[in-house]
Structure formats: structure tokens, C-alpha cells
């Protein structure tokens, strides 16, 4: 499974942390626990629900040019 934690501090977007693997949600929660709302952090947890791919087709077959995971809020 893929998970994403989006981080804002005092209304300013700081970035996001992507994690995958068998303990991904627990790792996301461990990071979130270190960023308390009382100190101005706003967090959004998301789960990967699919993937979009851009493909190239040639006589040699298909090749993935780009892939992007699609997320849904938890």
C-alpha cells in the first residue's frame, strides 16, 4: 500500500512524505505524532487507490514513460 502525509505549518505548505510497504501507515502515523496541531501543524493523510501511466507503444512493445499514484483522503 502507498500512503502520503501532507504537511502544512501555520497555513504554509511544507511538503509531503510518501511511504509504501507493509508498515507504511504506521510509519506515517509515527511522523504525524511528532508534528502536533498545538504547534501549528495541519496534516492530511491519504491512501493510494490507483496509478496513472503514460505509455509509449513501438514495434518493440510498450514502455512506461511516467507513472503517478492517485490518492484519496483517509
How many domains, the chain? 1
Cα separation of 66 and 6, whole Å?
A: 22
pLDDT single digits (tens) 14-53: 999 999 999 999 999 999 999 999 999 999 999 999 999 9
Q: Where are the alpha helices (DSSP H) in 1-74?
A: 24-33
Give pLDDT, residue 64: 93
Sign of the torsion formed by the C-alpha atoms of 35, 37, 39 and 42: positive
Instruction: State if pTM tops 0.95.
Output: no
Give pLDDT, residue 9: 98
Structural domain boundaries enclosing 22: 2-73
Amino acid at each position: 500500500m502507498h500512503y502520503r502525509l501532507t504537511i502544512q505549518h501555520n497555513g504554509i505548505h511544507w511538503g509531503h512524505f510518501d511511504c509504501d510497504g507493509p508498515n507504511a501507515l504506521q510509519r506515517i502515523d509515527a511522523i504525524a505524532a511528532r508534528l502536533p496541531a498545538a504547534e501549528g501543524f495541519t496534516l492530511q493523510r491519504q491512501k493510494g487507490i490507483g496509478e496513472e501511466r503514460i505509455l509509449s507503444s513501438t514495434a518493440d512493445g510498450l514502455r512506461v514513460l511516467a507513472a503517478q499514484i492517485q490518492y484519496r483522503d483517509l
